[in-house]
Every structure is written in C-alpha cells, then in structure tokens.
Amino acid sequence: MDRSQNFSDPSEDKDDKNGSTSRNINLGPSGNPHAKPTDFDFLKVIGKGSFGKVLLAKRKLDGKYYAIKVLQKRVILNRREQKHIMAERNVLLKNMKHPFLVGLHYSFQTTDKLYFVLDFVNGGELFFHLQKEQTFPEPRAKFYIAEMASALGYLHSLNIVYRDLKPENILLDSEGHIVLTDFGLCKEGISQAETTSTFCGTPEYLAPEVLRKQPYDNTVDWWCLGSVLYEMLFGLPPFYSRDTHEMYDNILHKPLMMRPGASNTAWSLLQALLEKDGTHRLGSRDDFNDIKAHYFFSEINWVDLEQRKVPPPFTPNVNSPHDITNFDPEFTGETVTNSVICDQTALMNMVWAAVCQEIFIFT
C-alpha cells in the first residue's frame, strides 16, 4: 500500500464571530526568540508533509540531535491552517509528560518559516517496518497497540482527540518503544461529553461517523486503533480498496470478515474497536479504561508498560544517536538546503517577505 495522505477541513480555522481567519502566528510559551536556523547543522531530510519537512539537525552548542519540523508560513496562511498549527504546538507542549508521545523542546520562526525542535526518534516509522515485514506476530502487535492505547488515553484525559492514528505517524525509538508523532489534526476541548464534526483524517482509517459527517467524539481514535491492529496482523487496513469510493462504502456497510491467523481474543478486540456505531464501540463508556479491561490485554501490566519496564519484542538496528538507516530513502535522499534557510519562492519574490513581516507576530 502506498503512503496514505491525510486531509483536513480549514473550517476549524474560521473566526467564530465573523468567519475570517486569524493572520497571526504566535508561538506563545514554546517560542524561543533567541533561536535561529544557524544554531543547527541540518543533516538530512527524514520526513515531509503538507506544510514542510522534518530534518535531522545537530545543535552546534552541545552536539545534541533533534528532529526539526520546518513549516512554510506561506502554505499555512494560504490554506487557513493557523489554528491547526497552533493546536499542534499546544499538544506537543503537553507531550513531554508521556513516554509514548514525541515532545517539543521549543520553537522559533523566521520571516517565512516556523521551526519546531522535537525529540529525534530514530527507530523508524512503523510503516517502514511493516512494509518490510508485511505483518507482525500477534504478541508484537499487542505490545505496540497497548503503548498506542496508553498514549491515546493520555491525550483523551486532556480532552484532546488525535484523529490521525496510522503507521506513518507511529515511530519506534532506538529501544523499540512506540512514539506517536504528527499532531496536526488534533482537536482540543473534546471530552466524552463533547463532539466535533470536521471532516478530516486519512481515508483508510476514517471512522464511519466521520464519513457520514456526523458529530463525533474521541471514540474515532479507538476505531483507528482497531484499523492499525488489523493492518499489523493482516498487512492492510480492514476495509481497504484502491478505489476510494469503494473503500468508503466498505467502511460504512461491509461487515468485518474474520480471517485466519489471529486469536479469538484478537478478533474480539477488533470487532469491539471496529464497531460501526460509535455509541457501541469499545471505549464509548469509559474510554481508555474500557480498552485496558479487554481480555486481549490480560497479560499486560499497565503500570510497568507506562514506565517502559516491559521489554519491546523488537529492537531496531540503530548504531548511533544520528543513525538514519531506519528512515525511508525517499526522504533521506533529498537535499537539505532549500528546506531550511532559503525558500526559492521567497528569493524570487522579496515583496512577499516584507508582507510576511507585517502579518505575523514574532515572539
């Protein structure tokens, strides 16, 4: 399966009073006004998305390695995504307290770019390993799903719905533990008693209520968890089709068909998570506590798991703190220069840089 792309509805960025979009990007408490791109040696491209790229960087001051997300302000502004970017920043600031979420150290900005200085996690994307191995043994899949569930449960406890769980957004650290990344589609202020209705996500993993454009709550994350578990066990998402319209119809109407190769308890969990009616889905009553109580996880000591005391079933081949062998050559083969300091469009259009200075707040 090719890399799946997410999409979002910019309507969440509209001002509530008059429908206009805020033209300010304020980095708030994460902002470091003294930081600048020349503080770092940018070494390799290790990922990319809708608004920019993620690069491996070495801080000159102390030689520490970071993953720096470089975002194009011009693209953010044109797509009216300011609030999504700031929601991502808000979530990243809270992530440092959880072992399975990537953390933000600080952020800074130049005339045309935003820079998020993140933990460098170099065990590779789950997508990368799944592509190589096609499927995972059930015990390995169980370990990953348990750590993902813990991370999602933490976000839900902060009234944050993640909305984009997929193998491309799940990293392994050098020891083999899960680290969730990319919080661009997170929605804050969503408790179990509250809903949102924005049509966003990645097609293969959309819950039925999102497709129906119905109000939904954080149980969409448990649907995604079931989809990722299914993919780890069988190699593809549960309702996958190359024809997107057929895939959407499958998600809405096709029953989940049992397949050989998984235990009865795994199937029980899959059926409970991939329940098309979100009000009856596992997690709809008591959120993460429902997940923990399922007998698929009966052997999991959740306290030990969240203290990283449970040994990972697989250790990535990582030879150094800056090893990038577990990243896709599609990314690492790209040149770094234009991604970091000079934007070719900006070089050809100096007027745009002047406009940016007027419309963005620097903190």
pLDDT at residue 190 in the model: 62
Q: Give residue 229's domain range.
A: 125-307
- Please tell me the distance from the alpha carbon of residue 23 to that of residue 146, in angstroms, as a whole number: 40
State whether 264 and 240 are in the same domain.
yes
Domain of 170, CATH number, reads 1.10.510.10
State whether 166 and 242 are in the same domain.
yes
- Please tell me the distance from the alpha carbon of residue 160 to that of residue 332, in angstroms, as a whole number: 32
Residue 191 CB neighbour total at 10 angstroms: 15
CB 287, CB 247: distance < 8 Å: no
Token couple for 301: 């000591």
In a domain, 173, yes or no: yes
Mapping DSSP to helix (H, G, I), strand (E, B) and coil, where does residue 330 land? helix
State whether 168 and 282 are in the same domain.
yes
In a domain, 27, yes or no: yes
Q: Which residues contact 269 (CB under 8 A, 6 or more apart)?
A: 226, 229, 282, 294, 296
Instruction: Report how many domains make up the chain.
Output: 2
State whether 297 and 330 are in the same domain.
no
pLDDT at residue 13 in the model: 45
343 catalytic residue (yes or no): no
In a domain, 315, yes or no: no
Q: Which residues are annotated as a binding site?
A: 69
What are the distances in angstroms from CA 348 to CA 75, 338, 341? 16, 13, 14
pLDDT at residue 241 in the model: 92
Q: What angle do CA 101, 104, 110 make, to 5 degrees?
A: 145
Token couple for 223: 């649907």
pLDDT at residue 26 in the model: 65
Mapping DSSP to helix (H, G, I), strand (E, B) and coil, where does residue 66 land? strand
Q: Which residue among the candidates 112, 164, 173, 221 is catalytic per the annotation?
A: 164
Q: Which residues are annotated as a binding site for ATP?
A: 69
pLDDT at residue 18 in the model: 37
In a domain, 147, yes or no: yes
Taking alpha carbons only, the member of 190, 173, 198, 185 closest to residue 312 is 173
State whether 240 and 338 are in the same domain.
no
In a domain, 93, yes or no: yes
- The stretches in the chain having pLDDT less than 50 are 10-11, 13-24, 197, 342-363
pLDDT at residue 42 in the model: 95
Residue 288 CB neighbour total at 10 angstroms: 21
State whether 198 and 221 are in the same domain.
yes
Largest separation between any pair of C-alpha atoms in the chain: 63
Domain of 37, CATH number, reads 3.30.200.20
pLDDT at residue 90 in the model: 81
Q: What angle do CA 42, 47, 49 make, to 5 degrees?
A: 120
In a domain, 2, yes or no: no
State whether 136 and 275 are in the same domain.
yes
State whether 129 and 111 are in the same domain.
no
* Buried b or exposed e, range 339-350, using 16+ CB within 10 angstroms: bbeebeebeeee
- Please tell me the distance from the alpha carbon of residue 340 to that of residue 20, in angstroms, as a whole number: 30
State whether 214 and 100 are in the same domain.
no
State whether 111 and 168 are in the same domain.
no
State whether 132 and 67 are in the same domain.
no
pLDDT at residue 32 in the model: 85
In a domain, 215, yes or no: yes
- Please tell me the distance from the alpha carbon of residue 87 to that of residue 95, in angstroms, as a whole number: 12
Q: What is the DSSP letter of 3?
A: P
In a domain, 359, yes or no: no
pLDDT at residue 191 in the model: 60
State whether 245 and 159 are in the same domain.
yes
Region of residue 259 (left: phi > 0; alpha: psi -120 to 50; beta: else): beta
pLDDT at residue 354 in the model: 37
